[in-house]
Amino acid sequence: MATTKTSSNLHHLSAATYVIIISLLAVLLWLAFTPHTPRFQLTSLIVTSLATNSAAELTAKMHVNAVLGNPNFALSVCYETLHLALLFDNLTLSATPVQPLPFSTAAQTDTPVRARFSVAHRLFPDGIARGITEHRGDGSVSFGVTVLARFRFTCGALGTRIRTLRLECYPLQVAFPPHNHGTGTLVTPSDCYAV
């Protein structure tokens, strides 16, 4: 009788241990395969050849360097499209697609992104050109960058449906020291936030 009771207790103990192990594995798998949105950090923004005139015409070249972060442990991120736009006072000054498209594996969490785009003698509402000129005269201009991405999570040959992500980086303080011929640089790196 005692042997049967001990055997029954061991059976219940092993069953409980089995359930606990399976539950822990399920939680770990859920954590590993739950998709987390990619992060985007703007590390450098250089504005060169910045010029405005009284006709509200703007000319500038922009150089953007950023890092796309993949916070996922087991999922890679495959980008279908990636566009960057430079804004001033909520108005898009210029936009460009990023080529080649980045790809972030699960093991490689950070992927560099570089984009170059420009505005050449483009007319804007008078307040935009005047605002840029006034702020530049004060030593810095606050720009914004919008990131629009279409991507999918992948794990080996398997992939999720395409997702859309819109991020905004604002304000980006670009300093224009005196006598620098229209060249400004980002004061501090900036994280971008989903909108």
Q: What is the average pLDDT score of the chain? A: 86
Q: Give 96's contacts (C-beta < 8 A, 6+ positions apart).
A: 83, 84, 85, 115, 116, 117
Higher-confidence position of 113 and 23? 113
Whether the predicted pLDDT of 42 surpasses 80: yes
Among 36-40, 52-56, 81-85, the least confident range? 52-56
CA distances from 49 to 88, 180, 191 (A): 16, 10, 26
Cα–Cα distance for residue pair 113/12, rounded to 1 Å? 56
Contact 47, 174 (CB under 8 A): yes
Tens of pLDDT, residue by residue over 62-105, are 999 999 999 888 889 999 999 999 999 889 999 999 988 888 88
Among 23-27, 36-40, 41-45, 52-56, the least confident range? 23-27
CA atoms within 13 A on the CB side of 31: 6
User: pLDDT band at residue 47, thresholds of 50, 70 and 90?
Assistant: very high
158-159/110-123 β-pairing: unpaired
Residue-by-residue DSSP string for 161-172 = --EEEEEEEEEE
Fill in the DSSP letter of residue 37: P
The full set of domain ranges for the chain reads: 1-33, 36-194
Tokens of 3: 């042997």
- How many helices (H) and strands (E) would you count in the chain? 2, 12
3-state DSSP assignment of residue 38: coil
165: nearest Cα among 45, 73, 81, 106: 81
Whether the predicted pLDDT of 43 surpasses 70: yes
Contact 34, 47 (CB under 8 A): no
Ramachandran bin of 89, using left for φ above 0, alpha for ψ from -120 to 50, beta for the remaining angles: left
User: pLDDT band at residue 26, thresholds of 50, 70 and 90?
Assistant: low
Higher-confidence position of 65 and 3? 65
Higher-confidence position of 145 and 31? 145
CATH code assigned to 36-194 = 2.60.40
Question: Region 172-184: what's the mean pLDDT?
Answer: 86
Residue 1: what pLDDT? Answer: 53
Residue 9: what pLDDT? Answer: 76
pTM comes to 0.79
Among 22-36, 121-135, 158-172, the least confident range? 22-36
Question: Region 5-21: what's the mean pLDDT?
Answer: 76
Cα–Cα distance for residue pair 119/83, rounded to 1 Å? 16
* Backbone torsions φ then ψ of 73, nearest 5 degrees: -80, -40
Tens of pLDDT, residue by residue over 108-157, are 678 899 999 899 888 988 788 889 888 888 899 999 999 999 999 988 88
Contact 146, 42 (CB under 8 A): no
